Structure 1
Amino acid sequence: MTSMESAALYAGIFVIFFLLLKGRVGLVRSGEKVMFGDGGNERLQRAQRVQGNAVEDVPVTVIGLLALGALVAPVWLIHALGSTLVLGRVLHAVGLSGSSGGSPGRMWGTLLTLISMLGTGVACIWFAFA
């Protein structure tokens, strides 16, 4: 697997992940009979925030992974950063879906996401100058 193929793998994983999050919002919206906004419904608000948090963090990091692929960064590095991001986002989604307060999933998910984002940013700068 090349660097670019590795990066594309994570882009594909997150396209599917986003579809799952979008589908979950739709199911909750339908189940709670709220067709616009959140209707003050906490369950729908949580589902929307799970999706919104992913939209805030994932795209810029995936762009970074694709840049690393284009810069022919080591495949192991792209997999380390990408899999950390996947694990972080899944943990965060599960943690926030279950509770609007703090939870281990939310805490670890946030931490792993931040580590992946920082690592991707630093790696992009490093390989741009290498």
Structure 2
Amino acid sequence: MQFYSRKWIMPEDLNPNGSLFGGKLLSWIDAESAIFAMCQLGKDRHLVTKFISEINFVSSGKQGDIIEMGVEVRKIGNTSISLHAVVRNMMTKEVIIDISDIVFVNLGADGKPQAHGYSAESD
């Protein structure tokens, strides 16, 4: 897995307990995964998040930590792409969160799933 993006945990990213707010982290992962999916399938896709599997918070981040987000393709379907995402502390490499499956679906103008047209030959 390659780690493409980094974030510096700032005071506004913390929950009342002083650790990284899970909702903020999930927002970052969703955005990073969507960008990754578009880069895989092509920029002219209209992808939406369809499904996020069980979320495993392994450890927490704290103010001042730098985290890095890694995403890899699990499967490419006719209208969808499934990804695996991991966030870890950049310095210690300790995993903060692991999401085994994030699915994005390509939508047509009518808002219904539409084939994205990606194939291995498209590379």
Q: Same fold (TM over 0.5)?
A: no
- Higher-strand-fraction structure: 2
- Higher-helix-fraction structure: 1
TM-score w.r.t. length of structure 1: 0.29
